[in-house]
Chain A
Amino acid sequence: MKTITLLLIAASTLFGAQYSVIISKKAEVGTLSTQQIRDIFLQKRHSLGNQKIIPLNLVGQEASRIAFESDVLGMGRDRLNAYWVKQHFQGITPPITQPSHESIKAFVQNVEGAIGYIPSSMADGSVKVIYEF
């Protein structure tokens, strides 16, 4: 498993992926598709296999969040805002937020099922990379 993680990091360096979606290294989860990541962060799906998932967003309007929303979720700010307003009526809230990439990484390391995005340069053997963008 460590080899796969190192290969993903090496590949991200070679092909220029800036950010990595990470999960606890204990999680029995392989690489995810864009659709799976989107469904998790839009709170449409709440599990991967038997693992309940806790998506984490970065608070504010940092570059990584903007890139995640446009490249992975495929939604601009207006559309995403409209989506969450509609979800509020359905009783669904957005993912919880964390103040920094460091806290996202720490949360993922300590809480099984937590999933978040950090700069690829921060990804190491303590977490599992399951998607890159």
Chain B
Amino acid sequence: MSLKSPFSSLLLLFISTCTHAYELGRGAQINDHINVGGYFSSEFEAGRSDETFTLDDVAVMAYGDINPMISYLAEFEAVGFYHKNFSDGSDGGSQKFHAERLYGDLWMSDDFNIRFGKQITPIGYWNMEPINVLRDTTSNPLYSMLLFPKFLTGIDINGYVPSTEGLRYHLFAQKNHDLDEEYINIPNTHFYGFAVEKEFSMEWNGGGSVGEYITKTNQRTRFLQANVKYDDSEWQFVSEALLAKSDYNSREDDYTLSGYVQAMYHYMPEHAVVGRVEHYNDHFSDYKDTIFTLGYSYRPLYPISLKGEYQWHSQNEENRALFSFSVLF
């Protein structure tokens, strides 16, 4: 599913009908049932052979409550909106908008909510806040990109576990193709999973998930995932890891192990230094890499992000520098 350019029409709607004071990064309330927003990011990458600039994510979103029990969210995004390679002079891009999220929520109680439609897979931290402006590094760890479908076109039954404090669950399922197979990291036909997250205190929380998916090429993968975070505003430590076992038609089962640990120190509210170490080991494709990332994050306002980082890879001569500028509206 795609749209040619909902961006301009939504922008016009935004400008002409916004009735409440606008605050950057909080969206604009059009009326009691419609809030609109959007974001974009641009990246500059300097590797060993190429220097590229990409206007990467250009997205618009709308959400709101239809009534006290039913709400919705729609988001359309163009990825790789414009791309320029300074090494060979080529440029291009795609202005085609894809349905990134398109779902409804049926709220029955705090213990039982049903989300239906295309949505972000409720696993871990990184996957739940995937856009550049909300991240603290320009790059994503491989953990978040290669090991499970980032989106789910199905249902997620979620809520608080009754008689507990701060313990949430997600029971999600998909038994169909993705709403937009051009726009998902792992096109699949079946995807099931169970996730929990626990808030131990204001600073500490953790969680985990198990799941299974079958790709369009009939590769069945089962995974076990865990995540933990500490955040006291000055220091933040995040770690996520995943172990996957895949059944292939052509050969024996193989394992993939991936994880990262990231630390961030805010020496001022707007400025932070970020360090991350990640490991990825895919026995099937025999791809193994350990990546160290050191970065700097500057947010003059929270929804405006300027980031720079350098990555050292253990293999493949993939060392590179990345810079990005992103804004959430």
Interface residues, chain A, with chain B CB atoms under 8 Å away: 35, 45-47, 52, 74-76, 78-79, 81-82, 84-86, 88-91, 93-94
Contact B328 A89 (CB under 8 A): yes
| A93 to B27 CA separation, bound complex (whole angstroms) | 9
**Chain B 10-47 residues near chain A, CB threshold 8 A:** 25-27, 29, 35, 37, 39
Task: Assess the A93–B68 pair: CB atoms within 8 A.
Answer: no
Q: Which chain A residues border B68 with CB–CB below 8 Å?
A: 52
Q: Give B158 Cβ to nearest chain A Cβ, in Å.
A: 12
Give CA–CA (A89, B107) in the complex, Å. 19
Chain A residues near B37: list those with CB within 8 A.
88-89
> Which has the most chain B C-beta neighbours within 10 Å: A35, A76, A81, A91?
A91
> Does residue B248 face the partner (Cβ distance < 8 Å to A)?
no
Instruction: State how many angstroms separate the Cβ of B306 from the closest Cβ of chain A.
Output: 16
In the bound complex, residues from chain B placing their C-beta under 8 Å from that of A52 are 68
- Quote the shortest CB–CB distance from A90 to chain B (angstroms): 8
B65 to chain A, nearest CB (A): 9
CB of A59 to closest CB in B, whole Å? 10
Q: Which of B29, B107, B109, B302 contacts A85 (CB 8 A)?
A: B302
Q: Given contacts A35-B165, A85-B328, is CB(A93)–CB(B302) below 8 Å? A: no
In the complex, A57 Cα to B131 Cα: how many Å? 29
A47 engages B109 (CB within 8 Å):
yes
In chain A, what residue has the closest Cβ to B71?
Answer: A91
A-contact 0/1 string along B57-85, CB 8 Å cutoff? 00001010000100101000000000000
B107, B110, B134 pick with most chain A CB within 10 angstroms: B110
Return chain B residues, CB-CB under 8 Å to A94.
26
**A78, B302: Cβ atoms under 8 Å?**
yes
B25 engages A79 (CB within 8 Å): no
Q: Which residues of B contact A90 (CB under 8 A)?
A: 128
Q: Tell whether A74 pairs with B202 under 8 Å between CB atoms, given A85-B328, A86-B129, A91-B73.
A: yes
Q: B6 in the interface, Cβ–Cβ < 8 Å?
A: no
CB distance from A56 to the nearest CB of B (A): 16
B26 cross-chain contacts in A, Cβ below 8 A: 84-85, 88, 93-94
Contact with A along B157-191 (1 / 0, CB 8 A): 00010000110000000000000000000000000
A86 to B165, CA, bound (A): 22
Contact partners of A79 in chain B: CB under 8 A: 233
Point out the residues of chain A lying under 8 angstroms from B39, CB to CB.
Answer: 89
Contact across chains for A81 and B328 when beta carbons are under 8 A apart:
no
How distant is the Cα of A45 from the Cα of B110 in the complex, in angstroms? 6
